[in-house]
Amino acid sequence: MNGLSFQRLLQRAGPAGMIGALLVIAALAVWLALVEPEMQRLDATLEHGMQLQTRIRDSARQVQDLGDTPEEQLARFYGFFPGTATVPDWLARIDQDAAREHLVLAQGDYRVVRDRLGLITRYQIALPLRGSYPQVVNFVQRVLKDVPIAAVESLSFERQQIGDPQLDAKLRLTLFFGREP
* pLDDT tens per residue across span 29-48: 888 888 888 888 888 888 88
pTM, 2 dp:
0.59
Q: Measured between alpha carbons, how far is 43 from 101 in angstroms, rounded to an integer?
A: 54
Q: What is the pLDDT of residues 84-133, one digit of tens each?
A: 889 999 999 999 999 999 987 878 898 988 887 778 899 999 999 999 89
Q: Residues 171, 103: contact at Cβ < 8 Å?
A: no
What residues are paired with 157 via a beta bridge?
Answer: 169
Q: Give the C-alpha distances (Å, rounded to integers) separating 100 from 30, 77, 135, 140, 166.
A: 66, 32, 9, 12, 17
pLDDT band at 136 (very low <50, low <70, confident <90, very high): very high
- Superfamily of domain 79-178, CATH level 4: Ribosomal protein S6/Translation elongation factor EF1B (3.30.70.60)
| Residue from 55, 173, 156, 34 nearest 110 by CA | 173
Could you state, in order of their start, the residue ranges of all structural domains in the chain?
A: 1-67, 79-178
Q: How far is CA 133 from the centre of its chain?
A: 25
pLDDT at 67: 62
Element (DSSP H or E) covering residue 116: none
pLDDT at 143: 94
What is the edge-to-edge ordering of all strands in the sheet holding 150-158?
A: 109-114, 120-131, 167-178, 150-158
Q: What is the pLDDT of residues 44-88, one digit of tens each?
A: 888 888 888 888 887 777 766 666 778 887 888 888 889 888 999
pLDDT at 66: 62
Of all residues in the chain, what percent carry a pLDDT higher than 90?
Answer: 31
User: Mean pLDDT of all residues in the chain?
Assistant: 84
pLDDT at 95: 92
Sign, CA dihedral 25-31-33-36, equals: negative
pLDDT at 17: 78
Statement: residue 4 has pLDDT above 90: no
Statement: residue 162 has pLDDT above 90: no
Q: Which residue did the predictor score with more confidence, 52 or 153?
A: 153
Q: Measured between alpha carbons, how far is 179 from 121 in angstroms, rounded to an integer?
A: 7
Q: Measured between alpha carbons, how far is 63 from 69 in angstroms, rounded to an integer?
A: 10
> How many other C-beta atoms lie within 10 A of the C-beta of residue 177?
20
Helical H segments across 67-163, by residue range: 70-79, 87-100, 133-146
Q: Residues 156, 168: contact at Cβ < 8 Å?
A: no
